[in-house]
Amino acid sequence: MDAPQPQHGDRPGRGPRTGRAERADAAGNRRRILEAAARIVAEKGPDALTMNAVAHETGIGVGTVYRRFGDVAQLLFALLDEREKRFQEAFMTGPPPLGPDAPPLERLRAFLHALADRVTDQLDLMLAAETAAPSARYSSGAYATMHTHVTVLVTRVRPEGDAALLAHMLLAPFVPSLTHHLTRDGGRTVDEIKAAADDLLLGLARPR
Amino acid sequence: MDAPQPQHGDRPGRGPRTGRAERADAAGNRRRILEAAARIVAEKGPDALTMNAVAHETGIGVGTVYRRFGDVAQLLFALLDEREKRFQEAFMTGPPPLGPDAPPLERLRAFLHALADRVTDQLDLMLAAETAAPSARYSSGAYATMHTHVTVLVTRVRPEGDAALLAHMLLAPFVPSLTHHLTRDGGRTVDEIKAAADDLLLGLARPR
DNA sequence: CCCCGTAACGGATAGCTATCCGTTTCCGTC
DNA sequence: GACGGAAACGGATAGCTATCCGTTACGGGG
């Protein structure tokens, strides 16, 4: 559990997990599939994104769509990937307080705020992904990266605790379904969510 | 938001949400469906529980199964219902530290521990329910009850915070998919999870 | 006790997921 | 530039969800 290794949902568009690079026709189809998927989501919403629809839209066979992206969830993760990378850069190499050169607790707080924004931004897409496969979250590269990051920060803030486990628990409140429930059904604002996250962090601030 | 009102997944076997009681044949079918569902889960696991399988097993039409229980998730919630009621009794009217007559913070801690046990106990069933419909969680009576309970306790521990929101965030780490990830893929024990939950509570203990 | 409105029933149906496997295409090697 | 194995392709298929709607059965009012 160190750097995020190639995992479920962690293929930016390069090759399959095996050694050699992707064949030319395969890469072309991957691109066409992603384009069609983005178009469908833009026009009809994430719920209309089905493997069949993509296959029909592109003229590519269903089997091929499944061969490139294992299931709907992974296709959705791929659509989220671009902004996800920008998000990762922001907290890994960006300016403080999100990036380095800020005290750990402050960074942690900034990260959770940024995460709240990120989930809210692409809530529909993320909710669709979670609906398609709730546990895919935990085998995705995006989650692994966030978890590693939070674990490091928690370790520095509270060395005597089980940082990895606490990191999971700090990320849990930001599952798409809860964010959806709070903001769409519950009428909550992102700022209220951020404030509550701050409260959750208070405990970590003071060593027991 | 007071007592848990009749909601999605909150029909113990009585009638539909409308006024009048359930008709005799309908009630009989409900019972037969639940029996068959329990049998299927016991013999082949929760993944084998499909509406078609239940219909075939009972000789009841598919349409009827859908009429009694709206979808697979609700059928699964119904299977969880009996133990859920016992769990509710334990934290609402049972002996301390879980029930009344214990200090709020202690009760809160006991509740989260009990919740960890509860999720672990029926993890397969809960995971199947979450997989079928992740957001059903938040419209279920079971969740409403837990949330109300935690909100009350949090209010007493930390009156100046947004108790309802904090309650959601304290419940979030116990979503079935995360518990599954931690205990089955991550090799974590329930005790470790409880300890981490304690750490999460530290912040609420001390008013800032 | 019959009558009738309402609820319930159940099979047919459309559309989706995911897999399987025979066929086709690529591309490194010689 | 031809070859051959690995990879990719794509349509057919099985099984599931969820809905629709014509038919059936219950049970309270008269």
Map residue A8 onto helix, strand or coil: coil
Half-sphere exposure of A101 (CA within 13 A, CB side): 5
- The distance of A137 to chain B (nearest Cα, Å) reads 9
pLDDT in tens, A70-100: 999 999 999 999 999 999 999 999 999 999 9
Distance, in Å, from the CA atom of A152 to the CA atom of A171, rounded to the nearest integer, reads 14
Distance, in Å, from the CA atom of B81 to the CA atom of B69, rounded to the nearest integer, reads 13
Residue B204 has a pLDDT of 81
What does the DSSP 8-state code read for residue B19? S
pLDDT in tens, B74-130: 999 999 999 999 999 999 999 999 999 999 999 999 999 999 999 999 999 999 999
Distances (CA, A) of B29 to B9, B83, B85, B126: 17, 22, 22, 24
Residue A20 has a pLDDT of 75
pLDDT in tens, A110-159: 999 999 999 999 999 999 999 999 999 999 999 999 999 999 999 999 99
Q: A144, A7 in Cβ contact below 8 A?
A: yes
Distances (CA, A) of B168 to A172, A173, A184: 10, 7, 15
Considering only the beta carbons, identify the residue of B175, B196, B201 that sits closest to A175. B175
Q: A138, B177 in Cβ contact below 8 A?
A: yes
Looking at every residue in chain A, the average pLDDT score rounds to 91
Tell me which residue has tokens 């907290």.
A91
Q: What is the pTM of this model?
A: 0.93
CB contact under 8 A, A162 and B195: yes
Map residue A76 onto helix, strand or coil: helix
CATH number of A19-69: 1.10.10
Distance, in Å, from the CA atom of B28 to the CA atom of A133, rounded to the nearest integer, reads 34
Tell me the pLDDT band of A13, cut-offs 50, 70 and 90.
very low
Q: Which residues of A touch B136 (CB under 8 A)?
A: none
Is residue A206's pLDDT more than 90? no
Residue B18 has a pLDDT of 54
Could you check whether the bond before residue B97 is cis, i.e. omega within 30 degrees of 0?
Answer: yes
Q: A165, B182 in Cβ contact below 8 A?
A: yes
Looking at every residue in chain B, the average pLDDT score rounds to 91
**By percentage, how much of chain A surpasses pLDDT 90?**
86
Structure tokens at A104: 């750990």
Cα dihedral value B130, B134, B137, B140, nearest 10:
-100
CB of B157 less than 8 A from some CB of A: no
Is residue B8's pLDDT more than 90? no
Structure tokens at B192: 């470790």
Tell me which residue has tokens 């009102």.
B5
Distance, in Å, from the CA atom of A14 to the CA atom of A12, rounded to the nearest integer, reads 6
Distance, in Å, from the CA atom of B101 to the CA atom of B98, rounded to the nearest integer, reads 9
Q: Which residue of A has its CA nearest to B182?
A: A165
Residue A203 has a pLDDT of 74
Considering only the beta carbons, identify the residue of A168, A199, A203 that sits closest to B161. A199
- The distance of B25 to chain A (nearest Cα, Å) reads 34
Is residue A207's pLDDT more than 70? no
- The distance of A76 to chain B (nearest Cα, Å) reads 16
Query: What helix, strand, coil percent values describe chain A, rounded to 5?
Result: 70, 0, 30
Residues close to nucleic acid strand D (C-beta < 7 A) = A 16, 18, 20, 22-23, 25-26, 28-29, 60-64, 67-68; B 23-25, 50-53, 62-63, 66, 70-72, 133
pLDDT in tens, B14-28: 444 456 788 999 999
Domain boundary assignment for chain A: 19-69, 80-205
Q: A153, A170 in Cβ contact below 8 A?
A: no
pLDDT in tens, B153-202: 999 999 999 999 999 999 999 999 999 999 999 999 999 999 999 999 98
CB of B104 less than 8 A from some CB of A: no
Tell me how crowded residue A31 is: count the other CB atoms within 10 A of its CB.
Answer: 12
